[in-house]
Amino acid sequence: MSMPDRTPPTLRDVAITAKVSVGTASKVLSGASGVSAERARRVWDAARLIGYRRNEIAADLRRGRPTSIGLVLPDLTNQFFVDIARALENHALQHGYQLILAHANENPERETERIRFVMSRQVAGMIIIPCRGYQHAIAEARECNVPLVMADRVDDTFPANTVTTNSRSASTDGTAHLIALGHQRIAFLVNTLELVNSRERAEAYMDAMRDAHLARHIAVIECGMTAMQSHATTLKVLSGSTRPTALFTGCNVTTLGALRAIRDADLQIPLDVSLLSFDDAPWMSVLRPYLTSISQPVEAIGHAIWQLMLKLLNGEQDEFVHLRFKAELLVRESTTYVSAETAVTG
């Protein structure tokens, strides 16, 4: 007690202190059955006495079947991913699995590194929301020789199990909404077209524009992955000779940047410019006017990812499955009829 060892106590130490074999001590401490109550108590007491801490890693190694699931996220700054992580955490814990979180910081190299790290820690399964680079993501998926679910930034042709939002239909709805309000010069601001889901959103926007004979007004603008970059790019868009009357942003980070630009350009929403945001975020609720946005069913997505992972873990699923969830257009205050004035002077 007074003079603790340099090395932490092991199962062997517990066994010696409790005057039982390591095997018995192991059974007790690992929650297995087949030990008399009397000796079990002795083991627990001994463990407490010498301050024993189980080495789960050694246990996993010997057991050969890990109980952790790796989750690698592209951006902790994006509330959408954090919400998914929170949902997954709850499900995992509830099913006796531990989540090992890793953060790629929107950096493909870092992502590869993080995946390798998590995999090398012997996880039972992997859940990945990749960052930019479709081929890159495919290569990474191949690295994972455990049950794998890829989410959000993948499509239905991805060679892995996927859970995603139906970006296309939501984007179609959003564009139609703006067009119905009389907008013609609608710009689509996207983080990067290197992301499939962003590409899908942009394509659906373009299709909707074409269908409405507005092809000449199509403007898809890549803004970069950070709010800072979106800010700068949007500022340029807004200061062009023919300013768009409506902005359609492809994700919440882009929206944040666009809002800063609109603020800097001293423009009023929706008077000077309408704004439609793909993706909700908690802070949007304090904005005046309240943002019209496309809301993704985060809880449902998280739940689906977990259910799928569970099936995979139990070997009940051999073919790739691609799950799609419908996003909802919430019409609020930031989109309005285009004024004759705005349409002309813009």
Give the separation between CA 55 and CA 64, rounded to whole angstroms.
14
Decide if residue 159 touches a second copy (CB under 8 A).
Answer: no
Decide which of DNA, a second copy, none touches 38; Cβ closer than 5 to 8 Å per partner kind. DNA
Nearer to DNA by Cβ, of 11 and 178: the residue is 11
Decide which of a second copy, DNA, none touches 242; Cβ closer than 5 to 8 Å per partner kind. none
Shortest distance in whole angstroms from residue 66 CB to DNA: 11
Binding site for DNA (CB under 7 A): 7-8, 10-12, 19-24, 26-27, 29-30, 32, 34-36, 38-39, 54-55, 58-59, 61-64
Decide which of a second copy, DNA, none touches 24; Cβ closer than 5 to 8 Å per partner kind. DNA
Nearer to a second copy by Cβ, of 187 and 227: the residue is 227
Q: Hey, which residues between 55 and 74 contact a second copy (CB under 8 A)?
A: 55-58, 60-61
Decide which of DNA, a second copy, none touches 337; Cβ closer than 5 to 8 Å per partner kind. none
Query: Taking CB under 8 A as the rule, which mask of x and - marks residues 276-315 in contact with a second copy?
Result: -----xxx-xxxx---------------------------
Decide which of a second copy, DNA, none touches 283; Cβ closer than 5 to 8 Å per partner kind. a second copy
Decide which of a second copy, DNA, none touches 89; Cβ closer than 5 to 8 Å per partner kind. a second copy
Instruction: Look up residue 164 and give its amino acid.
Output: T
Cis check: omega of the bond before 270, within 30 degrees of 0: yes
Give the separation between CA 239 and CA 326, rounded to whole angstroms.
35
Decide which of a second copy, DNA, none touches 10; Cβ closer than 5 to 8 Å per partner kind. DNA
295: its two tokens: 């809301």
The window from 19-27, 96-104, 303-311, 324-332 that contacts a second copy (CB under 8 A) reads: 96-104
Decide if residue 54 touches a second copy (CB under 8 A).
Answer: yes
Nearer to a second copy by Cβ, of 109 and 156: the residue is 109
Sheet holding 274-278, edge to edge: 219-222, 186-190, 246-249, 274-278, 292-295, 328-330
Decide if residue 22 touches a second copy (CB under 8 A).
Answer: no
3-state secondary structure string across the chain: CCCCCCCCCCHHHHHHHHCCCHHHHHHHHCCCCCCCHHHHHHHHHHHHHHCCCCCHHHHHHHHCCCCEEEEEECCCCCHHHHHHHHHHHHHHHHCCCEEEEEECCCCHHHHHHHHHHHHHCCCCEEEECCCCCHHHHHHHHHHCCCCEEEECCCCCCCCCEEEEECHHHHHHHHHHHHHHCCCCCEEEEECCCCCHHHHHHHHHHHHHHHHCCCHHHCEEEECCCCHHHHHHHHHHHHHCCCCCCEEEECCHHHHHHHHHHHHHCCCCCCCCCEEEEECCCHHHHHCCCCCEEEECCHHHHHHHHHHHHHHHHCCCCCCCCEEEECCEEECCCCCCCCCHHHHHHC
Decide if residue 101 touches a second copy (CB under 8 A).
Answer: yes
231: its two tokens: 């800010």
Give the separation between CA 63 and CA 324, rounded to whole angstroms.
36
Shortest distance in whole angstroms from residue 125 CB to DNA: 18
Query: Taking CB under 8 A as the rule, which mask of x and - marks residues 197-236 in contact with a second copy?
Result: ------------------------------x---------
Decide which of a second copy, DNA, none touches 300; Cβ closer than 5 to 8 Å per partner kind. none
Decide which of a second copy, DNA, none touches 48; Cβ closer than 5 to 8 Å per partner kind. none
Whether residue 255 contacts residue 272, with contact meaning beta carbons closer than 8 Å, is answered with no
Q: Give the residue, chosen from 12, 36, 117, 139, that forms a contact with a second copy under the rule CB under 8 A.
A: 117
Residue numbers at the binding site for a second copy (CB under 8 A): 8, 51, 53-58, 60-61, 76-77, 79, 82, 85-86, 89, 93, 98, 100-103, 105, 110, 113, 117, 119-122, 145, 227, 256, 259-260, 263, 281-283, 285-288
